[in-house]
Structure 1
Amino acid sequence: MNQNLPVIVIGAGPIGLATAAHLRERGQDVLVLEAGDSAGAAIAQWSHIKLFSPWRFNIDAASRRLLETPNEGYAGDWEAPRITKLPTGAELVSQYLQPLAVHPELAPRIRYSHRVVKISRVLADGRGADKARTANRDDAPFLVRTETPGGLVDLLGRAVVDASGTWNQPSPVGRGGIEAIGEAEACEQGFIISGLPDPLGADEHELAGKDLLVLGAGHSAANTIIALGRLQKQYPDTRIRWGLRGEANPIRLYGGGASDQLPARGQLGTSLRRLVENGHVELLENVSVASMNAGEQLAVVLADGRELAVDRIIAATGFRPDLQMLSELRLELDECVEAPRQLGSLIDPEFHSCGTVSAHGAKELAHPEKDFYIVGMKSYGRAPTFLMATGYEQVRSIAAALSGDAEAAGRVELELPETGVCSTDLGGSCDAPASENSCGTEPAEPAESSGCCSSPQPVSLGMSTGTLHGNSELAAGR
């Protein structure tokens, strides 16, 4: 019975569509469920941001083969972007994800406006099998419940690959990983902005001339601060304060600079340092938000008794995986970063930077729940060291495993660029947004023959690692 059911993929972003492409290449039936109304819906929310990494690292191999191969009703005339160019979020969607999603091989297998709310198992006779049920569990189909404009819909699959990401699950700004007192009310009243605002575009009116507090120490915070610095040039009464949870460590804050093999990511730290040292950004250390109260301004009280009055908090404090939808599955998660247990120790940001994470695939991403996998940014839980290229290798391995090709599933390799440092506060991942230098110019692109790496290192299990950075790929704003 199971073999007649599709592999259900959750999410039509880069990793979800790559999963579908690899499965179709192996002749497997697949159904992609996307909460938004188009492919790359989450990326569209940061369309103004430029990635750190060039196209070379952002196009999956199976997806490329699909786009370049003629198909019934499809000429295979997709024009690949120049591999050394840094794409914006909008370009990633329009030049890659949308053409992939409308390809005749994938288009009939994608359902939009299907938000997955629960996953469980169901036995052959139709009875449910919650996580306490052991008998015949591994042979039972998955029951995937989605919320659609027409109501709830139940779908069955023989396997599930969760590539839903973490974009819609921002971490709270309060101390200890929980909301500050009054935080929910402040969010409702619009005092707290999560994600990646567009200070030079859609959010200019919202932020210009305001007293702003940016919280976070990763690339998303840096991206936002640099964009706000340019906004400040147009509106000098804009005040920018940057709140850090600990003390300011220049190496952690500003990254690898010129030693970073992704030039845009290195320039990000250099531009950020300049804004702070020139006094355009006020650095606040040991910021631990205890409570807040909304009035004409937002009154913020810190754990050490300091009080701040701000117009907006921009929360670049990272994201978390939505595990509630998986509550009826048997998961084995690392207790610290909420990644699959075998992966957790490889990516724990307390001990690893983006340059010390080993390549990994189906074996490391497996759970006690047979044929269920979490991939992409969500597979990294709360760790910020994920790269799109890493996700593509994850799903290549998993597609091989689900197709019965154990040898290919175990052959896991990566070629990624050296990086500076990464931060647990990254609001997305190492692929995620970074920002342009303060002069507004894009860093010089490397020669096409070498991509962005001066000495790329292949990474494979059991060997010393090269480096990878997930959504630390986001690089330049406008």
Structure 2
Amino acid sequence: MELPVVVIGAGPQGLAAGAQLLERGIEPLILEAGSTAAAAVAEWGHVALFSSWPELVEPAAERLLASTGWVAPVAGHPTGSEWIEAYLAPLAAALGERVRTDTRVVGVARKGRDLLVDAGRAKQPFVVLTRDAHGTEARVEARAVIDASGTWSTPAPAGASGIPALGEQAATAAGFVAHRIPDHAEAQGLDGRHVVVVGNGHSAATAIIQLAETVRAHPGTRVSWLLRRGSVGNTFGGGAADELAERGALGQRAKRAVEEGLVTLVTAFRTDAITLNGDGHVIVTAEDGRVLDPVDRVFVLTGFRPDLSFLSEIRLELDHRLQAPKRVAVEIDPNIHSRGSVRATGAAELSHPDSGFFIVGAKSYGRAPTFLAITGYEQVRSIAANLAGDHEAAARVELTLPDTGVCGRSGFFDTPKPAADGCCIGSEPMTQGATPGQ
């Protein structure tokens, strides 16, 4: 009996991988750490997606679901919860016992070969060490492994050096710091408070829009938006030039919140400390000594990073900056690229020195932002074809990714200056909106 392909994570890409493999006659086993499929999506279920329904349903998954009488939603931009209810949960049900929940992967290796050993390595199956909700451990052997575990469980900290700011972990444990987007009820419950958002991406913009509504309803509320970069850069996105209209509109709505004075935008603020002051607030301090007025709540939305801890015995080929597969990193590195469009990637770009091991989904982008569901769907289509021996289909690119309409760079980190190509023109470090505490 041939060994299964183990898929780590029953999120959108993991479930899509299961459907693609099954259609190719390959038995998948999908291991999910959460108590339900798409458990990570459920945690941001109140957030609407940029993509519309046709881009959120994977083709092989749709064919599998069609056999059950399921009908695909045809229009609109669902929230995470709606995505689960209308598509991801039915897909997990269709895959049945191939999806195993409450099963956390804690290690992956070649059977009988640690990282050091060359002899016979490629001929050995993979062995996947799991731990269930009761702490019981087990091993599963696999012909190949697809890591679709995502990055949701490993958010980046507020600290500007990539490590937690002084006091950040204690402030998080005390409930003053959250590494997620507030929902409407939580945002409205912060009326009359001083709220800080740290971050430059789409999650930060979403939080700003939500909190700006609180300021409109309760003018005594203060919102400070902290950017590490010395200029605004691409914070507000590409607007009408973005080929995903909802993504472009998001940045423009955040920009209006700043322009209307609902939000204080502070650039070149590199957080050094978030400390409890003993009177129900935290004090947020920058590396240059600037201090905000006492803060009631901090939302740290500085991106995510891949969890590589359980892959220590797998031979990986990762970019040293992004922690993404090297051949993917050259397509997405914001330090290099000056435009928003990237090329779709497949099995060839996602492979590693340990043949048969692949990282897909948001985790394949490492620390880079702006991953889309359709990117992951193309990845797993190519990998399933590769594992089935259909190398022509694996090499074929069946997707063109939408352009963001902005430069890939985030803005100048220190001294702003115009770029030679006119892209990402800088401006002086600034505070825009209401004046923050100093």
Calculate the TM-score normalised by the size of structure 2: 0.89
Name the count of aligned residue pairs. 406
Residues in 2 aligned to 1:197 and 1:423: alpha-carbon distance in whole angstroms: 27
Q: 2:56 — aligned with what?
A: 58
Q: 2:256 — aligned with what?
A: 274
Q: CA offsets, 1:176-230, max 9 Å, x none?
A: 21111222211111111102221x125643x332211101111100000000011
Unaligned runs of 5+ in 1: 70-75, 123-127, 426-478
Q: 1:62 Cα shift?
A: 0.6
Q: 2:106 — aligned with what?
A: 117
Q: CA offsets, 1:142-171, max 9 Å, x none?
A: 111112123222211111000000001000
Are 1:25 and 2:23 matched, yes or no?
yes
Tell whether the 8 Å contact from 1:175 to 1:288 is kept in structure 2 after alignment. yes
Residues in 2 aligned to 1:355 and 1:63: alpha-carbon distance in whole angstroms: 29
Q: How does 1:169-318 map to 2 (within 5 A)?
A: 169-198=154-183, 200-202=184-186, 204-205=188-189, 207-249=190-232, 252-295=234-277, 296-308=280-292, 309-318=294-303
Are 1:97 and 2:88 matched, yes or no?
yes
Tell whether the 8 Å contact from 1:6 to 1:157 is kept in structure 2 after alignment. yes
Residues in 2 aligned to 1:400 and 1:50: alpha-carbon distance in whole angstroms: 32
3-state secondary structure, aligned to 1:330: coil
> Structure 1's 424 and 355: CA in aligned 2 closer, same or farther, altered over 3 A?
closer
Unaligned runs of 5+ in 2: 411-438
User: RMSD of aligned C-alpha atoms?
Assistant: 1.6
User: What amino acid maps onto 2:5 in structure 1?
Assistant: V
User: What amino acid maps onto 1:379 in structure 2?
Assistant: S
Tell whether the 8 Å contact from 1:50 to 1:88 is kept in structure 2 after alignment. yes
3-state secondary structure, aligned to 1:175: coil
Tell whether the 8 Å contact from 2:187 to 2:214 is kept in structure 1 after alignment. no
> Structure 1's 341 and 254: CA in aligned 2 closer, same or farther, altered over 3 A?
same
Q: 1:422 Cα shift?
A: 6.9
Q: How does 1:399-414 map to 2 (within 5 A)?
A: 399-414=384-399
3-state secondary structure, aligned to 1:176: coil
Q: 2:383 — aligned with what?
A: 398
Tell whether the 8 Å contact from 2:206 to 2:250 is kept in structure 1 after alignment. yes
> Structure 1's 12 and 139: CA in aligned 2 closer, same or farther, altered over 3 A?
same
Q: 1:139 — aligned with what?
A: 123
Tell whether the 8 Å contact from 2:165 to 2:274 is kept in structure 1 after alignment. yes
Q: 1:57 Cα shift?
A: 1.1
Q: 1:323 Cα shift?
A: 0.5
User: What amino acid maps onto 1:93 in structure 2?
Assistant: I
Q: CA offsets, 1:222-267, max 9 Å, x none?
A: 0000000112223322210000102333x51212112222222222
User: What amino acid maps onto 1:18 in structure 2?
Assistant: A
Residues in 1 aligned to 2:310 and 2:365: alpha-carbon distance in whole angstroms: 17
Q: 1:360 Cα shift?
A: 1.3
> Structure 1's 136 and 34: CA in aligned 2 closer, same or farther, altered over 3 A?
same
Q: 1:437 — aligned with what?
A: none
Q: How does 1:302-451 map to 2 (within 5 A)?
A: 302-308=286-292, 309-352=294-337, 355-421=340-406
Are 1:80 and 2:69 matched, yes or no?
no
Q: CA offsets, 1:14-54, max 9 Å, x none?
A: 10001010100011011000011111111111111111111
3-state secondary structure, aligned to 1:177: coil
Percent of aligned pairs with the same amino acid: 49
3-state secondary structure, aligned to 2:39: coil
Tell whether the 8 Å contact from 1:384 to 1:422 is kept in structure 2 after alignment. no
3-state secondary structure, aligned to 2:161: helix
Q: CA offsets, 1:311-347, max 9 Å, x none?
A: 1110010000001110111001001101011111111
Q: 1:354 Cα shift?
A: 7.2
Mean alpha-carbon deviation: is it higher for 261-270 or for 40-49?
261-270
> Structure 1's 424 and 129: CA in aligned 2 closer, same or farther, altered over 3 A?
farther
Calculate the TM-score normalised by the size of structure 1: 0.82
Q: 1:45 — aligned with what?
A: 43
Tell whether the 8 Å contact from 1:243 to 1:284 is kept in structure 2 after alignment. yes
Tell whether the 8 Å contact from 1:52 to 1:264 is kept in structure 2 after alignment. yes
3-state secondary structure, aligned to 1:301: strand
User: What amino acid maps onto 1:156 in structure 2?
Assistant: E
Tell whether the 8 Å contact from 2:341 to 2:403 is kept in structure 1 after alignment. no
Residues in 1 aligned to 2:381 and 2:338: alpha-carbon distance in whole angstroms: 24
Residues in 2 aligned to 1:203 and 1:112: alpha-carbon distance in whole angstroms: 32
